[in-house]
Amino acid sequence: MPTKRESPALQLKPYDFENSPGYWLVIAARAYQKAFDAELTPHGLTYRQAQVLGWLSISGDLSQVELADRMMIEPATLVGVLDRMERDGLIRRTALATDRRRKVIQLCSGAEKIWESVVECAMRVRRRASQGLSDRQMATFFKTLKTIMQNLEQNENSIESHS
């Protein structure tokens, strides 16, 4: 049986990551999230907790499934985040009267003050990320991102309609 060293090297087709929008979007998103996490840490918060507060402030009460969907994570992954936030008095989970198994996530009054800190952290990261870019460059950046999203969503919809 050949060892790994004796096996011929697998030759994969090269891919030009340096010119891949997807590569740079993911790398930039990770860097942004890491910077945001660093800003939130002194406040005892994580990026995921800030996301929960953000979605609840935008959308109002949400079920755990709806919240996980908006955060683009699995509902089971969200459980630990919600446990800690409930323990810290930021949110509460209430069973629906129509379906006791479904929980609705609601903001508690303790979330108001911490949300102000989250917004301040987000603004600092935004300023760092856009440092050296003009308003025009930022407008072009947002327009480009929106176009990329629309292109991908349009292609996704056309693939689904052909399935």
Residues 9-65: tens digit of each pLDDT:
888 999 999 999 999 999 999 999 999 999 999 999 999 999 999 999 999 999 999
Residues 128-146: tens digit of each pLDDT:
999 999 999 999 999 999 9
85: domain CATH number? Answer: 1.10.10.10
Chain centroid to Cα 70, Å, comes to 8
Distance CA 45, CA 113 (A): 13
Distance CA 147, CA 155 (A): 12
- DSSP H helices in the chain: 21-40, 47-59, 64-71, 75-87, 110-129, 135-161
Residue 7 resides in a domain: no
Range of the domain at 108: 31-121
Residue 155 resides in a domain: no
